Amino acid sequence: MPELPEVNTFQRYFDQTTLHRPIAEVEVHDDKIIRNLSGSDFAGRLRGRTFISSWRQGKYLFGDLDNGHSVLLHFGMTGDIRYYNDPADRPRHERFSFCFDDGFRLGFDDPRKFAKIRYLEDRAAYIAEIGLGPDALRISESAFLQLAQSRKTTLKGFLLNQRYLAGVGNLYADEICYQTRIHPASVVAHIPTELLQEVFRAMQSILQFAIEKEAYYKDYPDDWLWKWRHAEAIAPDGSPVQRAKIAGRTTFFFTNWQRKF
């Protein structure tokens, strides 16, 4: 599933192609991913409207409309957007498209139909309703430490919990643990405050670097755990990469290199 840096890349693309362009029509080919309206109702609500801004919170992207309402674009496993004019460029698995008054379109492609699209009259109320936590790049260090205080969950589970932090997924959580040399199964309440500060700084640094690289994995540093997940990697202390289920997710780590608290 796209994590914060990937969705940030989608946001940039959405802003560049879609903002301040009147929507002449919305063509819905398959409304399964539109979760709270029928395809015809969704199209009717958006016809004649204009996206004036966007908001990203963790893995959730919201397009804000000129009437104060919003459209949630949650990409699921395989969601993507494509801006095009020539019908030959239409995405193969396009579920709907915003058709602008100049003939260009923004198509939403989703082969596996795991995306969640919603028309929202109140974005803030929806975020509160689902209990989405603060964005992992906007949260302050003091707020992060307060969230972590006395948590009995594992560090991996804490980083993945979208009610605590919005945006960190499985791959970046492993990277944060590796770069801070903390075992992902460590109990958060047992980790010293100075190391939790390191976790916070690593989280922000890793996510920001990934954003700068537009989440293009091939540009990530060779010394990141990311590059070693599917290789016979050896930690600096000579230990091999390990794989286990932690917080219900497949997790990669180095047993001796990463200290367990």
Environment class of 45 (CB within 10 Å of its CB; exposed 0-12, middle 13-18, buried 19+): middle
Give residue-wise pLDDT tens across range 47-77.
999 999 999 999 999 999 999 999 999 999 9
- Does pLDDT of 227 surpass 80? no
**CB contact set of 144 (below 8 Å; sequence gap of 6+):** 165, 196, 200
Distance from chain centroid for Cα 74: 9
* Phi, then psi, of 142 in degrees rounded to 5: -65, -40
Q: How far is it, in rounded angstroms, from Cα 60 to Cα 95?
A: 19
Mean pLDDT of 126-150: 97
User: What is the pLDDT, as a whole number, of residue 168?
Assistant: 97
Predicted structure pTM score: 0.93
Nearest to 108 by CA among 63, 45, 59: 63
| Other Cβ atoms within 10 Å of 133 Cβ, number | 17
Across the range 181-209, mean pLDDT stands at 98
Pick from 69, 31, 29, 32: which is nearest to 50 by CA?
69
Per-residue model confidence (pLDDT) at position 240: 80
- Cα 164 to Cα 35, 43, 133, 156: the distances in Å are 25, 34, 5, 12
pLDDT of residue 232: 62
62 burial (CB, 10 Å; 0-12 / 13-18 / 19+) is buried
